[in-house]
Amino acid sequence: PVGTPVGPNDVWQVNSVKYDKLTGRLVADWTPKLDFTDATLIYTSYARGYKAGGFNPGIEPGPGLSVRADYLPESIDAFELGTKNTLLGGTLQANADAWYYNYKDLQVSAIENNTSVNQNIDAKLWGVEGEFFWAPATDWQFNLSVGTTHSSIGNSELVDDRNPTAGREDVVLIKDGTLGTTIGQNCVIYLLPGQTLTPADNAAFQAYLNANVPQLSGVFFDPPGGSSALAAHGVAHTNFGSCAALPEALLNPFGYSRVDPTGHGTSSGAFVNLKGNQLQNTPDFTISVGAQYTFHLGGDYTLVPRADYYWQTNMYGRIFNDPSDRIGSWGVANAQVTLNAPENMWYVTGWIKNIGNNNNITGEYLASSTSGLYTNAFIGDPRTYGVTAGIHF
């Protein structure tokens, strides 16, 4: 239930929700005797995972908003088939597995009315991985890891802040006249069924908005079933944005509505169908290689230089898969040299990471129209180097 204001600008609510799910894991192993391996393990597994839901933060009410007060729990059915093998007299370890993940109500972040909320989509992921460790001689070690991942989102719909009209001819983007000075944000309106508007009609509508919207007021700040402390303190719509001051009584005579008559949109934007899109941060292919050699010094000291390299293909930073969401392929090389004392009593390692000092973009986040729809890119660490020492007790 909605409570009473506890401060000059507050309205509080008391909510509760309960979730439960049966989870578990089933594994079957087989160790066959094969002529071409020293030892082999073949395994298969099924697991049910679960992540509880929760409550979204408070959101200013607006026509057509579809944000739930709570977001649903997330569940996953995970299937795996793999094998682990020792070959060549124990000098080679070769592991491989194939996996399939079926997500139900995967929790994703979205922006609605300037508020970051959690919403749910369905998605599937599948792929193949391989790991190989080879020690052809006593002092040499090599490792190789490769993986391929494919993802596909189910029949889910969300608003893309970068494309709020979703390319629909019956959707009009309204730029908030107070952006830059307040926390207002852009919104969309929808053409009513059966309406055919001429350029003159739209010009008259635009002129009316420019002349009257900044002075409009209404009940935007009144929570359903609650009371508004903001209105009592004289906070006008213009302090929060003119998009909030577009009542149906104004829009309908001009052939528009803030509510999508098709049911596939909100006042923040028209829904985009995500079916078939890739999940964010899931490159199709990754590879990691490494090598090291042990030099035996006098007095049982050893010196071990090592080098590693990782590379991945392109991926998307957002589930909408817009061209501007595409993150290019990148790689990073690291190296280190370790001096070990006799019986490994202590060690000293000199290391360098990101040898090429590459500005690798590893992810992104899109801000709302209030902030100018800028993209916050997450960059990997620059070239770093240092020395690490340790003592074994």
Each of the 393 residues of the chain gets a pLDDT tens digit; together they read 444 455 555 556 677 888 888 999 999 999 999 999 999 999 999 999 999 999 887 665 455 555 677 899 999 999 999 999 999 999 999 999 999 999 999 999 877 767 788 999 999 999 999 999 999 999 999 999 999 999 999 999 999 989 999 999 889 888 765 555 555 677 888 999 988 778 888 788 777 776 666 544 333 333 333 344 444 444 444 444 566 667 777 788 888 888 899 989 888 889 999 999 999 999 999 999 999 999 999 899 999 999 999 999 999 999 999 999 999 999 999 999 999 999 999 999 999 999 999 999 999 988 887 777 888 999 999 999 999 999 998
What is the per-residue pLDDT for 241? 55
Q: Is residue 126 a contact partner of residue 100, using CB atoms and an 8 Å limit?
A: yes
What is the per-residue pLDDT for 244? 61
CA angle, corner 76, sides to 315 and 149, nearest 5?
A: 25
Residue 353: which of 331, 332, 379, 329 has the closest Cα? Answer: 332
d(CA 220, CA 369): 19
d(CA 354, CA 246): 52
Q: Is the dihedral of CA 269, 273, 276, 279 positive or negative?
A: positive
DSSP 20-60: ----EEEEEEE----TT-SEEEEEEEEEEEEE--EEPPP--
Task: Tell me the CA distances in angstroms from 341 to 299, 336, 338, one per residue in order.
Answer: 9, 16, 10
What is the per-residue pLDDT for 68? 74
DSSP 221-238: T--TTS--HHHHTT--GG
Task: Tell me the CA distances in angstroms from 290 to 6, 111, 328, one per residue in order.
Answer: 60, 41, 23
What is the per-residue pLDDT for 393? 86
What is the per-residue pLDDT for 45? 98
What is the per-residue pLDDT for 197? 78
d(CA 316, CA 314): 7
What is the per-residue pLDDT for 7? 54
DSSP-based three-state secondary structure for 212: helix
Residue 189: which of 242, 249, 243, 258 has the closest Cα? Answer: 258
d(CA 13, CA 6): 11
pTM of the model: 0.82
Structure tokens at 247: 């009542």
Residue 140 dihedral angles phi and psi, to the nearest 5°: -100, 140
